[in-house]
Amino acid sequence: MKRMITGLQPSGRITIGNYIGAIRQMINNQDLYESFIFVADMHAITIPQDPEALKKNIRELVALYIACGIDPNKNVIFLQSDNYYHANVSWILECNTPFGVLGRMTQFKDKSKKHQNFMAGLLTYPILMAADILIYDADIVPVGKDQKQHVELARDIAESFNKRYNTEFFKIPEPVISKETSKIGDLIDPTKKMSKSAENKKGVIFLLDSEADIRKKIMGATTDSEMNIKYDVENKPGISSLIAIYHELTGLSIAEIEEKYKGQNYGTFKKDVADVVVNTLIPIQERFNKLVNSKELDDILENGKNKTLEIAKAKYEQIKKIVGLDR
């Protein structure tokens, strides 16, 4: 069975964009691959985080993974920071990655502009991500489009390491990018991606939002003045984003949705979208509430820690030998 690894950062509250674009893909994959799903908590501290909030976000993300349907019996679920070999392998990879490529990463360019006096970790971030992937000999890495460049860098790092040390030590991973309709726009500014870090929370549906908030946000979503429920991202980004949500959560095709709502007004459609979102999120929230403070959650993480430590330790001992750090 091929191996898959992926993770999300606990850098804020999880949105329906994360659910549709990332978590659901993990759920679809769990029967197809040997899956490793983690919380990239060490990546989160590349930008300043409040320790209390970070701690809460980490635990909530694990509970949400499981509440959304990631089955702890089918996936190894773990915290990146629980496995200290990630940082050790990352260091060795840092010493095998040309400095110049890091400054060319799109995400680094964006984030370094946004955060004054940013820290070195923001630059070396993709190397830690390469370690996360390469330690596990992952075949595939499902990520959003914005992370594709980092997975490509992980491939480059693996290839040049293998070449330099004349070995086939690292497996070359493949990025898997979710399909286009999976990209959910912000409800207020639908030309932008819905993002956990958006300033205006009215445009973002969080998985833990109350039913009233979900309905209010969807009814208030930006559309256009045409009164035509048609998927056209370029000219009608608002209605297209709502169609994308409806499509993703009901499984109806875009054409079926357009047909179903022919001649209907936006208010009717928005109400139906809100119903679908509420019906999806309420059961997730119920499972979440039972899990988040449970011992079951701690047991799952402890199990993930032990399983991944074993794999990562073996890989680390070997890489030390390859580069000459063994006794």
- Minimum CB separation of residue 207 from ligand TRP in Å reads 16
> Environment class of residue 183 by beta-carbon count within 10 Å: exposed (0-12), middle (13-18) or buried (19+)?
middle
Would you count residue 21 as binding ligand TRP (CB under 6 A)? no
What Cα–Cα distance (Å) separates residue 201 from each residue in 64, 123, 204?
A: 20, 28, 5
Would you count residue 20 as binding ligand AMP (CB under 6 A)? yes
Would you count residue 41 as binding ligand TRP (CB under 6 A)? no
- Minimum CB separation of residue 196 from ligand AMP in Å reads 5
Q: Which of 111, 145, 171, 313 is catalytic?
A: 111
What Cα–Cα distance (Å) separates residue 83 from each residue in 42, 73, 142, 296, 322?
A: 10, 20, 21, 20, 21
Residue corresponding to tokens 């549906």? 205
Largest CA distance in the chain: 75
Would you count residue 146 as binding ligand AMP (CB under 6 A)? yes
Q: Computed over its alpha carbons, how large is the radius of gyration of the chain?
A: 21
Collect all residues with Cβ–Cβ distance below 8 Å to 33 and sequence separation of at least 6. 1, 2, 3, 4, 139, 140
Write the binding mask 111 to 130 for ligand TRP: x where contact by CB under 6 A, - elsewhere.
------------------x-
- Minimum CB separation of residue 241 from ligand TRP in Å reads 21
- Minimum CB separation of residue 9 from ligand TRP in Å reads 5
Alpha-carbon dihedral angle through residues 274, 275, 280, 284, given to the nearest 10 degrees: 90
The Cβ of residue 184 has, within 10 Å, a number of other Cβ atoms equal to 24
Question: For ligand AMP, which is the closer residue by CB, 146 or 299?
Answer: 146
Binding ligand AMP by CB under 6 A: which of 4, 18, 128, 203? 18
Active site annotation includes 74: no
Would you count residue 312 as binding ligand TRP (CB under 6 A)? no
- Minimum CB separation of residue 47 from ligand AMP in Å reads 11
The whole-angstrom distance between residue 40's C-alpha and the CA centroid of its chain comes to: 9
| Contact positions with ligand AMP (CB under 6 A) in 182-221 | 182-184, 193-196
What Cα–Cα distance (Å) separates residue 116 from each residue in 44, 73, 110, 112, 149?
A: 17, 43, 12, 7, 23
Q: Which of 196, 236, 270, 315 is catalytic?
A: 196
Please, where are the H alpha helices in 135-253? 148-164, 211-219, 237-250
Say how far apart CA 8 and CA 18 lie, in whole Å.
Answer: 9
| Contact positions with ligand TRP (CB under 6 A) in 131-170 | 132-133, 141, 143, 147
Would you count residue 17 as binding ligand AMP (CB under 6 A)? yes
Active site annotation includes 307: no
Question: For ligand TRP, which is the closer residue by CB, 8 or 205?
Answer: 8
- Minimum CB separation of residue 128 from ligand TRP in Å reads 7
Would you count residue 26 as binding ligand TRP (CB under 6 A)? no
Say how far apart CA 300 and CA 64 lie, in whole Å.
Answer: 13
Active site residues: 111, 193, 196
Binding residues for ligand AMP (CB under 6 A): 8-9, 17-18, 20-22, 143-144, 146-147, 178, 182-184, 193-196
Binding residues for ligand TRP (CB under 6 A): 5-9, 40, 43, 129, 132-133, 141, 143, 147
